[in-house]
């Protein structure tokens, strides 16, 4: 019974977070700034989940995902850390304000913090490395 109650509470928390995160399409920094920290973390989880599902079609995508997973594991990346990286990217680059959060995520996480891990995975498959610019 005790475990069942915990499972129900966990499911309810997950549903609440997903409902809060799906309030509207986030088209740029103005929308991102309006989001609560919980919404930002849930949005990042959605970005990562979407990347895992959508980008599995070829060796390049598989290498990028494997590198990201290694990076997330080795750096102990959390949703909170990634949401903060997106916020900091937006703050430092006003020219990025018009782009949805995937752009800052891609640049600050994929081509930033995780670049070495991704390129290591790409080398294993004989692919050209990514560059940071």
Domain total in the chain = 1
Q: Which of 44, 52, 115 is nearest to 86 (CA)?
A: 44
**pLDDT > 80? residue 130:** yes
Residue 55 belongs to domain spanning: 2-124
Rg of the chain in Å (alpha carbons): 16
Q: Is 75 contained in some domain?
A: yes
C-alpha distances out from residue 54 to 61, 109, 130, Å: 9, 18, 19
Mean pLDDT calculated for residue range 79-102: 97
Q: Is 98 contained in some domain?
A: yes
**pLDDT > 60? residue 64:** yes
Q: Is 131 contained in some domain?
A: no
Directed axis angle between helix 2-21 and helix 37-54, to 10°?
Answer: 90
Task: Say how far apart CA 130 and CA 39 lie, in whole Å.
Answer: 30
Mean pLDDT calculated for residue range 75-88: 97
Q: Is 19 contained in some domain?
A: yes
Q: Is 130 contained in some domain?
A: no
Q: What are phi and psi of 80, to 5 degrees?
A: -60, -45
pLDDT of 15-63, one tens digit each?
Answer: 444 444 444 589 999 999 999 999 999 999 999 998 887 666 788 888 9
- pLDDT for the residue 131: 82
pTM of the predicted model as reported, rounded to 2 decimal places: 0.78
**pLDDT > 90? residue 5:** no
Task: Say how far apart CA 26 and CA 37 lie, in whole Å.
Answer: 14
- pLDDT for the residue 77: 97
Q: Is 132 contained in some domain?
A: no
């Amino acid at each position: 019974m005790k475990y069942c109650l915990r499972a129900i509470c966990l499911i309810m928390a997950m549903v609440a977070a997903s409902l809060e995160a799906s309030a509207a399409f986030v088209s740029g920094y103005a929308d991102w700034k309006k989001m609560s920290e919980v919404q930002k973390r849930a949005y990042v989880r959605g970005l990562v989940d979407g990347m895992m599902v959508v980008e599995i079609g070829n060796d390049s995508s598989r290498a990028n995902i494997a590198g990201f997973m290694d990076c997330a594991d080795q750096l102990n990346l959390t949703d909170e850390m990634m949401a903060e990286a997106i916020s900091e990217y937006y703050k430092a680059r006003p020219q990025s304000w018009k782009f949805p959060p995937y752009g800052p995520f891609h640049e600050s996480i994929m081509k930033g913090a995780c670049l070495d891990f991704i390129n290591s995975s790409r080398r294993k498959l004989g692919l050209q490395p990514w560059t940071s610019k």
